[in-house]
Amino acid sequence: MSHALIVVDVQNDFCEGGSLGVDGGSAVAADITRHLETHRREYDAVVAAADWHVDPGGHFSDEPDFVDSWPPHCRVDTRGWAFHPEVAEALRGVDAVFHKGQFSAAYSGFEGTTTDGGEGTGADVGREGRPRVSTEDAILLGDWLREAGITSVDVVGIATDHCVRATALDAVAQGFGTRVLLDLTAGVSPQTTTRALATMREAGVELVGNPRAS
């Protein structure tokens, strides 16, 4: 059995001070770094997923409902898109970064692609701010994991009740044994986190540790 770690959306805009900051996000970033320092050898691959918004249409709104629309966040070439400083150095050594949501809403890391055969940091960005994406070269996360021989994954990151949940559910649906390491996640609210945990558990996701929610 080959095992991978998926780090989801540990970006400045999703941590304290960001446009969609989640309480505990900075602590999660630091804890993920410590987890990698201690447990990196347990994983055959480590990948990251990240929001990578250029013009996602109705996903952004000046009057968001926080269900289907949100304040602008993680725009390409802004500080908000970058990985949080507490985890950025640790993520320099990941096997691939999968960008999602360039031109539409995207929650699951399995919607993300890299354009370079699974090495480096994925989509390049031109001067005009639009990713130079070759559909011929783009690799979806699920395909990349299968090509790497991965059969099971641990999912960590932000937010438990949104992109972590979506990523874990897609991992199970695509046939990967899936755990969410709750000590390495942060949720938006106790209510939505509780619902997300129930949904993941029902789908067959193994939940390890204790959830954090503001």
What pLDDT was estimated at residue 125?
A: 37
- Pairwise CA distance, residues 134 & 119, whole Å: 15
- Pairwise CA distance, residues 32 & 14, whole Å: 15
Active site residues: 9, 100, 163
What pLDDT was estimated at residue 126?
A: 36
For the chain, the first-to-last Cα distance in angstroms comes to 36
Ordered by start, the domain boundaries in the chain are 3-208
What pLDDT was estimated at residue 149?
A: 95
What pLDDT was estimated at residue 106?
A: 77
Nearest to 199 by CA among 166, 176, 157: 166
Q: Cα-Cα-Cα-Cα dihedral of 28, 31, 35, 36, to 10°?
A: 80
> In angstroms, what CA-CA distances link 52 with 32, 82, 101, 136?
21, 10, 6, 19
Mean pLDDT by 10 residues, the chain (214 residues): 92 85 92 96 94 66 58 74 90 89 77 57 37 58 95 96 94 98 94 95 95 62
What pLDDT was estimated at residue 118?
A: 34
CATH superfamily of 3-208: Isochorismatase-like (3.40.50.850)
